[in-house]
Amino acid sequence: MEKVGFIGNYDKIDFILYTAKILTKLGKKVLVLDTTLTQKTRYIVPVINPTLSYITVFEDIDVAIGFKTLEQFTEYIGEEQHLQYDYILIDIDNHQGIIGTQLKITDRNYFVTAFDLYSLKKGIEILNNLTEPLKLTKILFEKEMTQEDDEYLDFLALGKKIVWSDQTIYFPIENGDNLVIAENQKLEKIKFKNLSTQYKSAITYLVMDITAEEEKIIKNIMKNLDK
């Protein structure tokens, strides 16, 4: 079982679900765990009888909602069941989520942000109380990325126990992609058709980074999902 942390104040759950969908098509058993304060999954993932905390299945993905930490989820489901997953993708927007998930430098973790000051500063604030170094790969949402933007993020992170990965994954900020994702939410589907080439490429590179799977295989899966 591999934990994959997605840390930041920026809205992350949609691309996490799209990533999880590709992982299921690679034959992996995947859990998406929403530990965020906003709990967006409660509203966009369909469920018949929601309770305070629950697990549901959406597009072959197990989705856990209402748990503040991985620790809470494990207590709920049991250690043996918890270990059945190949990947647990964890959406985190607060320090408690990091502590309760026990993320380590050896785990695969991502820092997700756009470049408005609220996303940047609130996201970095989550990392203020780290007591051990944490390796993070940047996932940046920006229409036109500049060196100054990246340098400003590095400046805000000074003094934090962060070890930045050499790799950076860029997602476009395109209104067209947001409209497609919103329409898919209404249909209660995860569909890649009509998403921009740049968005699909970013998902491809993210899955490659998580799994070390070949690019060609991931692109073929995405192409089949477009049909």
Q: Which residues pair with 98 in a beta bridge?
A: none
Residue 7 burial by Cβ neighbours in a 10 Å radius (0-12, 13-18, 19+): buried
Q: What is the model's pLDDT at position 120? A: 95
Dihedral angle, C-alpha 47, 73, 34, 50, nearest 10 °: 20
Q: What is the model's pLDDT at position 152? A: 94
Could you read off the pLDDT tens digit of each residue along the chain, which spans 227 residues?
A: 899 999 999 999 999 999 999 999 999 999 999 999 999 999 999 987 788 899 999 999 999 999 999 999 999 988 777 789 999 999 999 999 999 888 888 889 999 999 999 999 999 999 998 989 999 999 999 888 788 999 999 999 999 999 999 999 999 887 799 999 999 999 999 999 999 999 999 999 999 999 999 999 999 999 888 77
| φ and ψ at residue 205, rounded to 5 degrees | -65, -35
Q: What is the model's pLDDT at position 147? A: 86
Contacts of residue 97, Cβ cutoff 8 Å, sequence gap at least 6: 7, 35, 36, 68, 69, 90, 126
The first and second tokens of residue 31, run together, are 């859990």
Q: What is the model's pLDDT at position 12? A: 96
Q: Domains in the chain, please, with CATH?
A: 2-216 (3.40.50.300)
The first and second tokens of residue 12, run together, are 């992350």
Q: What is the model's pLDDT at position 226? A: 76
Q: What is the model's pLDDT at position 11? A: 94
Q: State the pTM of this model.
A: 0.95
* CB 221 within 8 Å of CB 22: yes
The candidate with the shortest Cα–Cα distance to 24, out of 201, 193, 190, 214, is 190
Helix (H) or strand (E) holding 137: strand 134-141
Edge-first strand order for the sheet with 134-141 is 54-58, 61-65, 30-34, 87-92, 2-7, 108-113, 134-141, 162-171
Residue 41 burial by Cβ neighbours in a 10 Å radius (0-12, 13-18, 19+): buried
